[in-house]
Chain A
Amino acid sequence: MSTILEMKNINKIYGTTVKTQVLYDINLNFNQGSFNSIIGQSGSGKSTLMNIMGTLDSPTSGEIIVAGKSTSGMKASELARYRNQSIGFVFQFHYLLPEFTALENVLMPYRIGHKTIPKETMDRAKELMALVGLEKVMNNNATQMSGGQQQRTAIARALLNQPKMILADEPTGNLDSLSTETIYDLLRDINERFGTTFIIITHDRRIAEKADRIIEIADGRISLDVTR
C-alpha cells in the first residue's frame, strides 16, 4: 500500500517569549485507503497534529511529505490548491457558511477550484446529500438545520472533491450517541466504497476502536500505535 502522508520529526512550539512545546518528534506514516484514529486527552496536541497534517498550520521543525513532496517549500497558493484538491476537512464545529444553503455549502470546495459547476458535479453533490440522508433538507439554509444535520453536511462537503484523504477533528464531538454511531458508520462506509483515507481525531475510545489503526497521543508524544 502506498504512503499518502508522511510526518518526519515534527515538533511544534507555540509562543515566542513563553515557549510551550505541544508536539515532540512525531514520526508517522499513513497508508492510502486506511482508516485511522488518533486519540488523546484534551490538550495532548492531537488537534495541533491534525492542523499540521492538513497544512493549516506549519511545524516548528520537521517535515510533512504529501504525495512524495515536502510541504515546506510550497507557496501559500500551492498549499491552498493542495488542500482544495486532496484534503477534505470535517471540523468539530461544523463550520458551514451560514449565508449559503446546505447544497451550496457542499458544492463550495468544487467552486473554489472551478468557475462553473458541470452537471456531473451537481449530481454528485446531490448523491452525497442523499448518502448522508439530507436530500430533503439540502436547500435549507445551514442555520436552519440541526447539529447532526450540519455535521453530515460538512461530511458531504469534505467528500465532494473526492479527496484522497479526510481529516476529521472530533466529527461527533457534540452529537448524541445515536448520531455518533450513524456518522461513524457513514465514514466507514465511504472509506470502503471510495478507498478514501480517514484520519479521525477523537477522545472517545469506543469510537477509536472501530478504526483499523489507533494512535494515542499523550503530552505531545506518541504513546501507542496499534494496527489491527
Chain B
Amino acid sequence: MKLSAQIATRFLKSSLTQTLIIILGIGIGVSVQIFIGSLIQGLQKSLVNTTIGNAAHLTITNDADDGYISDYSAILSDAKASDDRISAATPLLTASSLLEQDGDSQSLLIRGFDLDAAEGIYEFSEYVVDGQLPAANGEVLLGVLARDTFDLSVGETIALITPDKRTVECQISGFFDYKVAQANQSWCITTLKTAQDVFLLDDVANSIELQVGQDVVFESDAVAENVISRLGSSTLVVKEWQSQNEQLLSGLQGQSISSIMIQVFVMISVVLGIASVLAISVMQKSRQIGILKAMGIQNSSSSLIFLIQGLILGIFGAIVGILFGLGLSYAFTTFALKPDGSPVIPLYIDPKFIALSACIAVVACILASLIPARKSSTLNPIDIIRNS
C-alpha cells in the first residue's frame, strides 16, 4: 500500500503538466456541478419562498352549517401542539364588503387576524409602506392600489357596506404593498375583533391558518395528518398547500430532475476523461510496471498504484472544483445584480451538497481508475522486456 502510494505520487509528479491538466478537468466538472446545483436549489428556494412564503401552508375550516369556528383558540392551540414543525398560527375571519367613497365603490375582502400571530405568516410590518398596522378597534390596513383608486390617505375614515346593507365606518391606519395586484386592490387587513364587529358576529373565526418552518414546507402533508388526528373532529377540514398547488410542485420536480441530469452527464464526461487519460498513463508507465513485476511486485499492488492515482486526482480535483465553484457563485452573486442590488440569480450554497459533490467526484475518479488498474494488473512483464 505504502509502496503503491509512493509509486503513484512519483508517477503523477513525473508528468506534472499532465497531472495538473487532469486535476483542472475534474475541477471544472465539479465546479459546474456545484454551480448548477446551487443555482437550481437557489431558484427553487426563491420560487417556493415567493409563492408560499407569505401564505398559510395549512388551513383549518369548519364544514358545519354556518362555517364559523367558535372555539378557535382551543383548536388553534391543539393544532399547534400536534406538530412542532408548525411555526405560526392565527385565527382568521374573512368576509366580503363594499367600499364606497365619493360615489365610487369596489368590493373589499375584510381579513381579520390575530395580528401578532399572523405576523409570523404574512409579515405585515415588512410590507407596510405608509402608516402602521391596525392597533385600535375599527382600524384597517388597505392596499396601495385601493389607495390610488380612491385617493385615500392615512387617518381617513372609510365607509364599508356589509352584505346585510349596513354601513360601518372604519379608520385607515396605513397601506401595504404586497406586490400582488389583487391583494393590493381588494384586501382589507384588520384585527379579528374589528372584523367580528363589522359583521356583528360573536367571538368566532371562519378559518385557522397555520404555517410550517421554511425548511419543512414540503412536509406539510405529514403535518396536516398530525393536525387532523389530533383534532379528531368530523366537521373540521384541514387543507395543505401541496394538494392545492400540483402545478408548482411538478414544475419544481421537473427542475430538480433536469438539474440532476446535467450533473450526472457532467460527471460521466469527467469520468470518461479521467479513465482515458489514466489508461494512457498505464501505457506510458508500462516499462516501469513491467520492471516492477519482474522484480516481484504483486498484481494487486500494481493495480493499486492506479487506484491511488485516481484517488489523488479525485481529491485534488474536488478541492479545485469547490474553489472554482464557490468562486463562480461568488462572482455571480456579487457582480450580476438587479437594480435593487439583489443578485439576479439567487444561489443557495449548501455545504452538504458541496461535500456530496466532492465525494461523488472522488468516487467517480476511483471508478474511472478501475480500467487502468485492471490493465496494470494484467500487464505481463515479458511483453515489456521482450519488446524493448
Q: Are B293 and A97 in contact (CB under 8 A)?
A: no
Q: Are B296 and A83 in contact (CB under 8 A)?
A: yes
Q: Among the listed A54, A100, A157, which residue makes an inter-chain contact with B10, where contact means beta carbons less than 8 Å apart? A: A100
B360-388 interface bits toward A, Cβ cutoff 8 Å, 1 = contact, 0 = none? 00000000000000000000011001101
Q: Are B10 and A99 in contact (CB under 8 A)?
A: yes
A119 to B89, CA, bound (A): 75
Q: Are A112 and B297 in contact (CB under 8 A)?
A: yes
Given contacts A51-B385, A91-B385, A111-B3, contact A99 B295 (CB under 8 A): no
Interface centre among A54, A56, A91, A115 (most CB of B within 10 A): A56
Q: Are B295 and A89 in contact (CB under 8 A)?
A: yes
Interface residues of A in 47-63 (CB under 8 A from B): 47, 51, 54, 56-57
Given contacts A97-B288, A100-B10, A112-B3, contact A56 B298 (CB under 8 A): no
Using a Cβ–Cβ cut-off of 8 Å, how many residues does chain A contribute to the interface with B? 29
Q: Residue on B with the closest CB to A80?
A: B296
Q: Does B166 contact A (CB under 8 A)?
A: no
Q: Residue on A with the closest CB to B3?
A: A111
* Min CB–CB distance A112 → chain B (angstroms): 5
* Min CB–CB distance A130 → chain B (angstroms): 22
B293-304 interface bits toward A, Cβ cutoff 8 Å, 1 = contact, 0 = none? 111111111000
Instruction: Note all chain A residues with C-beta closer than 8 A to B388.
Output: 93
Interface residues of A in 69-106 (CB under 8 A from B): 76-77, 80-85, 89, 91, 93, 95-100
B1-41 interface bits toward A, Cβ cutoff 8 Å, 1 = contact, 0 = none? 01100010011011000000000000000000000000000
A113 to B297, CA, bound (A): 8
Q: Are A98 and B14 in contact (CB under 8 A)?
A: yes
Q: Among the listed A56, A81, A108, which residue makes an inter-chain contact with B382, where contact means beta carbons less than 8 Å apart? A: A56
Q: Are A112 and B292 in contact (CB under 8 A)?
A: yes
Q: Does B287 contact A (CB under 8 A)?
A: yes
Q: Does B326 contact A (CB under 8 A)?
A: no
Q: Are B293 and A80 in contact (CB under 8 A)?
A: yes
Instruction: Note all chain A residues with C-beta closer than 8 A to B293.
Output: 80
Q: Does A109 contact B (CB under 8 A)?
A: yes
Given contacts A51-B385, A56-B381, A97-B288, contact A83 B294 (CB under 8 A): yes
Instruction: Note all chain B residues with C-beta closer than 8 A to A84.
Output: 295-297
Q: Are A113 and B296 in contact (CB under 8 A)?
A: yes
Q: Does B291 contact A (CB under 8 A)?
A: yes
Given contacts A51-B385, A99-B10, A100-B10, contact A83 B295 (CB under 8 A): yes
Given contacts A51-B382, A77-B299, contact A99 B294 (CB under 8 A): no
Q: Among the listed B3, B291, B298, B382, which residue makes an inter-chain contact with A80, where contact means beta carbons less than 8 Å apart? A: B298
A76 to B380, CA, bound (A): 11
Instruction: Note all chain A residues with C-beta closer than 8 A to B7.
Output: 97, 99
Interface residues of A (CB under 8 A from B): 47, 51, 54, 56-57, 76-77, 80-85, 89, 91, 93, 95-100, 108-109, 111-113, 115, 157
Can you pick out 26 interface pairs between chain A and chain B where the beta carbons lie within 8 Å of each other?
A47-B386, A51-B382, A54-B294, A76-B299, A77-B298, A77-B299, A80-B296, A83-B294, A83-B295, A84-B296, A89-B294, A91-B294, A91-B385, A95-B290, A97-B10, A97-B291, A99-B11, A99-B13, A99-B288, A100-B10, A109-B296, A112-B3, A112-B292, A112-B298, A113-B296, A115-B2
**Known contacts A81-B298, A89-B295, A95-B291, then 6 further A-B pairs from the complex at CB < 8 Å, ordered by chain A residue:** A83-B295, A89-B294, A111-B3, A112-B3, A115-B2, A157-B295
Interface residues of B (CB under 8 A from A): 2-3, 7, 10-11, 13-14, 287-288, 290-301, 381-382, 385-386, 388
